[in-house]
Structure 1
Amino acid sequence: MASQTTRLRTATAVLCTALVGAAPVALAPAAHATPAAHATPAAAPGSVAVPGFPAAPPLASVRAPSPSPTPPDPFKGLSADEIAEKAVAATRSAHSLRMTGRVSSGGQPLDVDFRVSDTRECTGTIKLRHGAAELRRTGDLTYMKGDEAFWRASMTSQGMPPAQIDATIELLKGRWLKIPQGQPGTEDLGSVCDLKSLLADLGRNKEQRTGLVRGPDGEVKGTPVATLVKRKTGTGAEQTTVSVSERGKPYILRTVKTGGADPGDVVLSEYDKPVRVVTPPPDQTVDLTKLDQGTPA
């Protein structure tokens, strides 16, 4: 299990280091950004266009509704680096959030969907190349429920003998593994549910978080965003695009990293909403401290 949870811990850090360590270069538009249209209006049907003069209105026409005014840019006058500073400060101040998407660690893709709070409560799922698992944490207890493929890969990576793996999987079938705080080998698992720990990297290496370029504005789930782009040339040609909300607090709403060793695409949402964790009933749990004895908690 330690190997799987270490990969998860490392992978969640991918989104937190999106603003760190890439060299500034010329802007390349982000794939997910939607540039604002700036098309020149065409002549109205029935009108006559004369070179050098505006088109005359048609003899009979219906006045088109006026377009909605473009909302003011909340970051007007700020550089991309200054927008990044605001985004980092706002995101680090969040009390809870939801994190969904696909990240990569060590070449292995992980699909994640987590709701995490700064009181170390969380609930969510992870899907790896070998299996999937649910994770819940409340108080000093963490609960994990994996499918057979997940447990088999986890235990095999720890060198457990096949006979012991089969017996343990049979015991865990349909049950949650209850993990008290402080159990050896589970430190990375607990830190996954620590929002402060996950976001700590956002405030580090400030001197490297410079030289960003603002890309075309776009949207993330209907919310207008400013995009901050930076690329790292060389092998892999990394590019990271960070989408910052232009509505309300300047939270980071999406990070997309292409190229390099650990690409990923993560959406952050549900900021400051309560994280509700349902504790599994005792008859559906197995206590990690009693696992060797095969005794359900």
Structure 2
Amino acid sequence: MAYRTTRLRVATAVAAALIAGAAPATLAQAQAPPAPGTAARASAAQGPAGAVRAPSPSADPFQGLTAGQIGDKAVTATRSATSLRMAGRVTTGGQPLDVDFSVDDKNQCTGLIKLQGGAAELRRTGGLTYMKGDEKFWRASMASQGMPEPQIEATIELLKGRWLKIAPGQAGSGDLGGVCDLKALLADLGRNKAELAGLVRGPDAEVQGTPVATLVRRKPGGETTTVSVSQRGKPYILKMVKTGGSGPGSVVLSDYDKPVKVVVPPEDETVDLTKLDQGGPAEQPV
């Protein structure tokens, strides 16, 4: 198999975590008591998903709809977005992974990954992907891949302060493209109609100042999830939280339909992936 850095594996894990761990059809695996007729007022109490409870809007835009119907509207709206920002923490491979990405429907994205005390930036535009990690990120990710220490040291030295440039068709390009493909990231939302139908509406809450309806469900074994749907404007999903069970996490979605500006790194600050494949110090099949 052609050489692939763990950074590419981590980016792929981000996509997998966001698809499998943050979609309403998957995250909505919790059950909570139905909301009372009038939303409870709470000054600063935290709900089960970490959202601050707030008074309902004067008019409930979802009045008369079941939780499943609200979820269906949220899925439709969210999948129609031209861009969004997702930020939070997911768990993949038993490791917490912090992510903060802005992505649009033109396969452009810019963001940050944090793993085991290290950090890496990701940018993609015009079909080209750029990744830049600090030493901690490189070391932790390459060590987890089983690379020998001399190779790790040589690779870190080669990429120190530089961006790894991956062109279309090169190893890992397709995986990273999935991270920066908005439609692909949202493709699994709402596919499981049975789980949408099993949602229960919890107490209304607030996410970053926006009133939301909460859709909740509990899975046997203590796994609880909550999806927060905007009650203002389009019914976008604003927050998804999973607690208990495997792969807990929390993701906030914001900046819907706002332009994503990607800055292309200077050419003299990049290292082409082919240099790692063609006899460079970091070349090794995996």
TM-score scaled to structure 2, two decimals? 0.85
- Does residue 48 of structure 2 align to residue 30 of structure 1? yes
CA distance in 1, matches of 2:255, 2:223: 28
> 1:258 is matched by which residue type in structure 2?
T
SS state at 1:277 partner:
coil
Question: What's the RMSD between the two structures over aligned residues?
Answer: 2.2
- Does residue 205 of structure 2 align to residue 218 of structure 1? yes
CA distance in 1, matches of 2:13, 2:29: 26
Question: 1:60 corresponds to which residue?
Answer: none
Name which of 6, 11, 15 aligns with 1:9: 15
Question: 1:250 corresponds to which residue?
Answer: 235
Deviation at 1:166, TM superposition (A): 1.2
Structure 2: which 5+ runs fail to align?
1-5, 35-46, 282-286
Q: 1:274 to 1:23 in 2, by over 3 A?
A: closer
Structure 1: which 5+ runs fail to align?
38-68
Bigger Cα Rg: 1
SS state at 1:20 partner:
helix
CA distance in 2, matches of 1:216, 1:170: 53
CA distance in 2, matches of 1:140, 1:17: 26
SS state at 1:271 partner:
coil
- Does residue 70 of structure 2 align to residue 83 of structure 1? yes
Deviation at 1:294, TM superposition (A): 4.6
Name which of 226, 233, 245 aligns with 1:260: 245
Question: 1:200 corresponds to which residue?
Answer: 187
Question: 2:95 corresponds to which residue?
Answer: 108
Question: 1:176 corresponds to which residue?
Answer: 163
Percent sequence identity is 66
Deviation at 1:183, TM superposition (A): 1.7
- Does residue 119 of structure 2 align to residue 132 of structure 1? yes
CA distance in 2, matches of 1:24, 1:155: 36
CA distance in 2, matches of 1:240, 1:25: 8
Question: 2:40 corresponds to which residue?
Answer: none
Name which of 94, 104, 125 aligns with 2:81: 94
TM-score scaled to structure 1, two decimals? 0.82
Q: 1:210 to 1:20 in 2, by over 3 A?
A: farther
Name which of 220, 226, 232 aligns with 1:233: 220
Cα deviation code 1:99-138 (max 9, x no counterpart): 0111111221011110000111000001011521000000
The count of aligned residue pairs is: 262
Deviation at 1:21, TM superposition (A): 7.5
> 1:196 is matched by which residue type in structure 2?
K
CA distance in 2, matches of 1:24, 1:134: 33
Tell me which of the two structures has the higher relative contact order, counting C-alpha pairs closer than 8 angstroms and 6 or more residues apart. Answer: 2
> 1:126 is matched by which residue type in structure 2?
I
CA distance in 2, matches of 1:70, 1:207: 29
Question: 1:19 corresponds to which residue?
Answer: 25
Question: 1:284 corresponds to which residue?
Answer: 269
CA distance in 1, matches of 2:228, 2:172: 35
Question: 1:160 corresponds to which residue?
Answer: 147
Quick check: 1:244–1:251 contact (8 Å CA) kept in 2? yes
CA distance in 2, matches of 1:150, 1:223: 35
CA distance in 2, matches of 1:7, 1:153: 15
